[in-house]
Amino acid sequence: MTHYWPIPFIEEKTFSSIEEKKTVALVTTAAAWAAVESRLNLSLVWQAEMNEATVPAWRKLLDTIEGEVIYAVGGGLAVDAAKYLAAEKDLPLVCLPTALSVDAFLTWASGYREGDCVRYVETRCPDRLIIDYDVLASAPESIRAAGICDTLSIATGRWDWKYAEEKGMNTEATRFIPYIDRMAEAILNGSLDCAASAGRGERDGLKQLLDGLAMEVQMCNLIGHSRPEEGSEHYFAYSVENTMGKGLPHGDLVGPGILLMAEFQGQETAPLRKALEDCQIPLNSIPNPVIRETLLNLPDYCRKQGLPHGIAHDLTQDQIDRLVP
């Protein structure tokens, strides 16, 4: 049976007003939990703090987990693990993001590291997503609105998608759909418009950013792939993470990836750079020699990992010399 996932039921309310009758298994990260613990009144019977996203780390938790509902409190690391546990144990899942740092709160897949790349496994979509704009506003500035990287990546992702179509590199399942491409462009424009406000932690800007992420995820759910949103900028991020280690947030890796790939694609980068800066995404976390080395190896990396075709597959030494001497 072909199936199409929904996005979670989204509620806007304060964390302190959550009334949970069931016993709770908490999946979190140390910093996120410290930030919101005092606002929550949950009957915790089990607790796990995540610091890596691998299937073996998740499997280990399956033996001990207790509780009638899983709460994911934090960012991508907590959510991806919680979705895996909820799927394996068939438990309801409630997500309490402490920053709008990724789109993982809205998706049905868990991203994990295996070998040198990030892979996704179908797990489940959270049942409820609870948004407390006060909590988001008080998140660390550099991750508060970093989820914008997963809508700004439409700029480079949709370019790759069309490029692959023109080169005959799309499969039957991922063929280019012009009206979806235009929808993706509209979502991109919506996030460019809200970047400054979201970056300041204002409710309206963060709401528009969340809406953009939700529409991007629902659109990908319906077409069955992420080509309008994920391309060479993510491949760069996946590859460079091997050199930089696992400590850097998604935005620190994808943000520079968007600017580099947009340059290679011949796109105007100023609006993208401004939106990233407005959302306070650190753009200088990766040293230049590491960027250069990563780019030089990227075509091979993309082929070896079997990633869908994009500009990253076709980068030449010449192009790289010009951009990152």
For Zn ion, the closer of residues 40 and 248 by Cβ is 248
Distance CA 242, CA 309 (A): 21
For Zn ion, the closer of residues 120 and 176 by Cβ is 120
For Zn ion, the closer of residues 103 and 263 by Cβ is 103
| Residue in the shown chain whose Cβ atom is closest to Zn ion | 150
Look at phi and psi of residue 13 and say left if phi exceeds 0, alpha if psi is from -120 to 50, else beta: beta
> Considering the rule CB under 5 A, would residue 160 count as an interface residue with Zn ion?
no
User: Which ranges in 200-249 belong to alpha helices (H)?
Assistant: 203-223, 232-244
Strands 43-49, 23-28: pairing kind: parallel
For Zn ion, the closer of residues 150 and 216 by Cβ is 150
CB 297, min distance to Zn ion, A: 21
For Zn ion, the closer of residues 150 and 160 by Cβ is 150
> Considering the rule CB under 5 A, would residue 263 count as an interface residue with Zn ion?
no
Distance CA 213, CA 122 (A): 19
* Cα atoms in the Cβ-side hemisphere of radius 13 Å centred on 32: 27
Binds Zn ion by CB under 5 A, chosen from 71, 73, 147, 150? 150
Which one of the spans 149-157, 272-280, 285-293, 300-308 is the region binding Zn ion (CB under 5 A)? 149-157
CB 290, min distance to Zn ion, A: 20
Q: Largest Cα–Cα distance of the chain, in whole Å?
A: 62
The residue whose two tokens read 């309008």 is 228
Site for Zn ion in 45-64 (CB under 5 A): none
233: closest CA among 261, 213, 252? 261
Give the footprint of Zn ion on this chain (CB under 5 A).
150
